[in-house]
Amino acid sequence: MEKFTTLTAIAAPLPQENIDTDQIIPAHFLKTTQRTGLGKHLFDAQRYQSDGSENPDFVLNKSAYRHAEILITLDNLGCGSSREHAPWALLDFGIKCVIAPSFADIFHNNCFKNGILPIKLPRDVCETLMRDAEAGANARLTVDLERQVIIRPDGEKVSFEIDPFRRQILLEGLDDISQTLQFGKDITRFEERSSRRWIPSTLKKEV
C-alpha cells in the first residue's frame, strides 16, 4: 500500500447525498477479485449513457476532472452493501482522498484498508470546498495528513480530525498484512516457544 503523506491534486465536486456502493461500482462488476481494472466502471451508470458513450454532464467526464485525485460529496457516502470493490474502483480511477460530512461505517473502514484517506468535515465546509473545486484544474487542494489540514487555493487551512492509529497506518503505507509483519520477530519467538513446549509431549503420546 502506498504511503499517504501530502497530496496536492484536482478535486472533483459531486454534490449528492447517500451515494451508495452500487452507484460507486455496480454489482455486475463484482465478479473479479482483482483490485485493478475497476476504475473504468466507477460510477458506471452515471458516467455512461445507454449506448455506452460517455455522459458529458457527469463530473468525471469533464476535461477538468478526468485526472481528479480528490472527490468531495455530501452526507452518507458509501452506504448500501459492504463491498470492498467500492474503494478498489475509486483507487483504480485515481481517487486517493474522499471528503464528505459523513460516511457509511464499513465503507469508511475499507477506505483506510486500501490506502484512501476519508475526511469528515461539516457540510458547510464541504460545500465551500466544492465551490473551490468548481474552478476545475486551476483550483487544486492540498491535503496534508501529517499536519491534518486541507489547504484551499487561497491558502486558507481547514483542519480535520482522524484516529491516530489510522493516521499512522496511512502515513506508513501499512495494510493488514504489513501491520502483522511488523510483529514478525515476536511471532517467531512465540512459535519457537510453543514448539519446545508442545511438540515433545505430543510425540511421547504417539509413541
pLDDT in tens, 161-188: 999 999 999 999 987 656 555 555 666 6
In the predicted model, what is the mean pLDDT of residues 66-82?
96
Band the pLDDT of 136: cuts 50, 70, 90: confident
Burial of 135 (0-12, 13-18, 19+ CB in 10 A): middle
In the predicted model, what is the mean pLDDT of residues 127-136?
94
Band the pLDDT of 33: cuts 50, 70, 90: confident
What per-residue confidence (pLDDT) applies to 203?
A: 52
DSSP string, 142-195: EEETTTTEEE-TTS-EEE----HHHHHHHHHT--HHHHHHTTHHHHHHHHHHHH
In the predicted model, what is the mean pLDDT of residues 73-82?
95
Mean per-residue pLDDT over the chain, rounded = 89
What per-residue confidence (pLDDT) applies to 189?
A: 65
Query: What is the pTM (predicted TM-score) of this model?
Result: 0.85
- Spatial separation of the C-alpha atoms in residues 21 and 87, rounded to whole Å: 9
Is residue 207 scored above 70 in pLDDT?
Answer: no
- Range in 107-111, 145-149, 182-186 the model is least confident about: 182-186
- Spatial separation of the C-alpha atoms in residues 171 and 77, rounded to whole Å: 23
Is residue 131 scored above 50 in pLDDT?
Answer: yes
> Comparing 118 with 139, which gets the higher pLDDT?
118
Helix (H/G/I), strand (E/B), else coil: 106: helix
Band the pLDDT of 35: cuts 50, 70, 90: confident
- Range in 54-58, 150-154, 196-200 the model is least confident about: 196-200
Burial of 164 (0-12, 13-18, 19+ CB in 10 A): exposed
- Range in 80-89, 98-107, 140-149, 167-176 the model is least confident about: 167-176
In the predicted model, what is the mean pLDDT of residues 9-36?
92
In the predicted model, what is the mean pLDDT of residues 61-84?
95
Is residue 103 scored above 90 in pLDDT?
Answer: yes
